Amino acid sequence: MKHSVDNRTGVIVRNLALPGLLILVWQLWALNLPVGSPAPSPVKVVQTLGELLSKGSLISATVQSLGRVLMGFAMASVLGIALGLLMGSIRAVRENLDPIIESFRPIAPMAILPIAILWLGTGTPTALAIVAYASFFPVVVNTVHGVSHVDRKLILAARTMGISPWTILVRVVLPGALPSILLGTRLAMGVAWTAIIAAELAVGAKSGGGGSGGIGQMMFVFYAYNIDLNAIVVCMTVVGLVALCIDQIFRVLEKRLIPWRQEA
């Protein structure tokens, strides 16, 4: 028992060695800066984090952004999986939709922002549209890929058991494509999170609101009005940590939903 505990601490020490060293070097560098320099340092970042947390604005902004991400992601997933299943199993649907999807896919989410703002304003609907747009592509592309790689024999076997096409879609094609679909949603969640920050940054330039505009807008305010680099680093760190947590949740979910892949 003691041995394994030692091992675990060993692993933690090893994994934290490089980040710890980088923070140390950063702090040493910051110590040599002239007094009053706006450049960020680890100590000042931690202080700012404390202030922002006690004011509550950091948490409310993060929750706001996260809510938009989950909402936009959910919209994109439902649409992406449904369309992907249809495209993957019905040739005519695939051949009609594929050119449309492939020609929109290279257009960055930020590039549709002007239109989104004109049509939907500078609030939550625009943020949702950007997130949904960004995360739709990984979901639909991976779903189509997953469906087209479902073992043909499984579908034939199901047909010889007198199973209807609709049931085959739900009971054979969907679970067969699930590993690929989950990969697509995990990638989608990643791009959703980057898209919301960028969207809020850009929308912030127009409305200039406070914490209610999400964490991206909060960053814009610190940049444009206060030039508080420490606060911006705090925001960046929070964005990174939240993304890390979301990714971990997806990995756990994947293990739960695909038990047959565990030791294959």
Partner 1 sequence: MNTPSDATKLRLTGVTKSFFTPRTGTTTLAVAEMNLDIQTGEFICIVGPSGCGKSTVLNMIAGLDQPSSGRIEKDGHAITGPGADRGVMFQDYALMPWQTVEDNVGFGLRHGTPGEHLSAKQRQERVAHFIDLVGLRGSEPKYPHQLSGGMRQRVALARLLANGPDILLLDEPLGALDAQTRLILQSELLRIWGETSPVSERKTAIFITHDIEEAVLLADRVVVMSTHPGRVREVVTIDIPRPRAGHARTNPRFGALVEHIWSLIRDEAYRAIGGGASVEPASHETTH
**Window contacting partner 1 (CB under 8 A); options: 12-20, 41-49, 154-162, 221-229:** 154-162
- For 163, residues 6+ apart whose C-beta sits below 8 A from its C-beta are 171, 172
Site size for partner 1 (CB under 8 A): 22
User: CA 82 to CA 145: how far, in whole Å?
Assistant: 13
Note whether 30 binds partner 1 by CB under 8 A: no
Note whether 169 binds partner 1 by CB under 8 A: no
- Choice from 6, 102, 151, 247 touching partner 1 (CB under 8 A): 151
**Window contacting partner 1 (CB under 8 A); options: 70-78, 174-182, 210-218, 224-232:** 174-182
b/e burial code for range 131-167 (CB count within 10 A of at least 16 → b): bbbbbbbbbbbbbbbbbeebeeeebeebeeeeeeeee
Note whether 160 binds partner 1 by CB under 8 A: yes
> Cα–Cα distances in Å, from 233 out to 45, 63, 229?
7, 18, 6
- For 76, residues 6+ apart whose C-beta sits below 8 A from its C-beta are 131, 132, 133, 134, 135, 136, 139, 188, 192
Q: Tell me the CB-side half-sphere exposure of residue 102, using CA atoms within 13 A.
A: 7
Note whether 172 binds partner 1 by CB under 8 A: yes
- Choice from 171, 206, 251, 255 touching partner 1 (CB under 8 A): 171
**Window contacting partner 1 (CB under 8 A); options: 49-57, 74-82, 83-91, 252-260:** 252-260
Smallest gap from residue 90 Cβ to partner 1 (A): 18
Would you mind telling me the total number of residues written for the chain in this entry?
A: 264
Note whether 91 binds partner 1 by CB under 8 A: no
- Choice from 99, 161, 225, 252 touching partner 1 (CB under 8 A): 161
Smallest gap from residue 85 Cβ to partner 1 (A): 16
Where on the chain is the footprint of partner 1 (CB under 8 A)? 151, 153-154, 156-163, 167, 171-172, 175-176, 178, 258-260, 263-264
